[in-house]
Amino acid sequence: MIPFLDLKPVNECYRPAIDEAIRRVLDRGWYLLGEEITGFEKAFAEYCGTQYCVGVANGLDALTLIIRAYGLGAGDEILVPANTYIASILAISANGCTPVLVEPDWNTYNIDPEKMEEKITPKTRAILVVHLYGQAVEMAKIWALAKKYDLKIIEDSAQGHGAVYQGRRTGNLGDASGFSFYPGKNLGCLGDGGAVTTNDAALAEKIRALRNYGSHVKYHNQYRGTNSRLDEIQAAVLSVKLPYLDADNQKRREIAQFYRENIRHPEIVLPKTSDELQHVWHLFVVRCARREELQAYLQEKGIGTQIHYPIPPHQQPAYAEWNALSFPITEQIHREVLSLPMSQVLTPSQQEQVVNAINRFV
Ligand SMILES: *Cc1c(COP(=O)(O)O)cnc(C)c1O
């Protein structure tokens, strides 16, 4: 059996160092907002190429707090891809802002810059881009639109740790970026975790307070904040794994290349990318009109797959007011996508089994 994703061997690679990191926290006896988070924030900012990083409790909070710290709320519109994980959209709604959905591009599955300008109104305040499946959004046209209309660019980098566009890493392609360290992400901790990266000192300071009850100084509350901290154990674990992120991403790239060179099936559409983007393959997503049949067939062959995602946000009961809207590209993507096994510990023989099984699908 080849599972879609087996996290145990992923973390087992780092086991001695993780054990040591956890022991260090226990020995110190300091569990929140201590040396570990400070150290990780510094290292992750450096990795992304930004001046600041603020650790928070998860990726959704990272995005929600960015929007909140910019002071956006009711009446403000934020453009967001229609084809994304629901969290990108929930972060907008949670602040009372209006998400304005934009169709993706067929080649990248990321937001289509050509379809954005027509959605901009006098109420538009920001563009939330999502580096979906691990491929950085091609930003040039989005930078130009943001400049023209004076919009903030917020990145959802939860699937894009380490991905590059024009020599810059995600997290440093907009005004502020939200990361998730959910265990299955390319950089994952042993529970929930997240971070905001930015070059905006005032924004970073505000989020530092918002994550901790709105307080910079204990029991002095400047804002009506929340509790969204990255704990010391998770920060210590992330500090162990971060130095290996590029090597892990490189392994994913090699696996993706093997899949792309060897999967040959007239009914299967492979993902498209270019070398300059340095895709980090959080997910390896193929499309097939007979997706359900393909998934059942692979399951029967002992190959686990998943669907990212089965129902588009605008068709979810949580957004009933959008259910009548039509986003044909997004809908077709949701009908056809299937994610193949992908992780840095997938062996060559497992990769071959996946390829052979798919090529024999009838
Ligand atoms: C995982 C994910 C999130 C949310 O991160 P959590 O840490 O689970 O809150 C947000 N956006 C995208 C695109 C994601 O994949």
Query: pLDDT tens for residues 21-32?
Result: 999 999 999 999
Question: What's the chain's length in residues?
Answer: 362
CA distance 179 to 207: 14
Q: Is the CB of 330 under 6 A from ligand 1?
A: no
pTM for this predicted structure? 0.98
CA distance 278 to 87: 24
CA distance 355 to 41: 39
Look at the block and give the residue holding tokens 């009446």: 75
What's the gap in Å between 342 CA and the centre of ligand 1?
Answer: 18
Q: Is the CB of 135 under 6 A from ligand 1?
A: no
What's the gap in Å between 33 CA and the centre of ligand 1?
Answer: 22
Pairing of strands 220-221, 77-81: unpaired
Q: Is the CB of 160 under 6 A from ligand 1?
A: no
* pLDDT tens-digit map of 183-218: 999 999 999 999 999 999 999 999 999 999 999 999
Q: Is the CB of 193 under 6 A from ligand 1?
A: no
* pLDDT tens-digit map of 37-91: 999 999 999 999 999 999 999 999 999 999 999 999 999 999 999 999 999 999 9
Atom 5 (ligand 1) nearest CA: 59
What's the gap in Å between 180 CA and the centre of ligand 1?
Answer: 6
What's the gap in Å between 214 CA and the centre of ligand 1?
Answer: 23
Atom 14 (ligand 1) nearest CA: 158
The backbone torsions φ and ψ at residue 328, rounded to the nearest 5 degrees and listed phi first, read -60, -40
Contact call for residues 78 and 125 (beta carbons, < 8 A): yes
Look at the block and give the residue holding tokens 């001695």: 16
What's the gap in Å between 181 CA and the centre of ligand 1?
Answer: 8
Q: Is the CB of 179 under 6 A from ligand 1?
A: no
Contact call for residues 104 and 80 (beta carbons, < 8 A): no
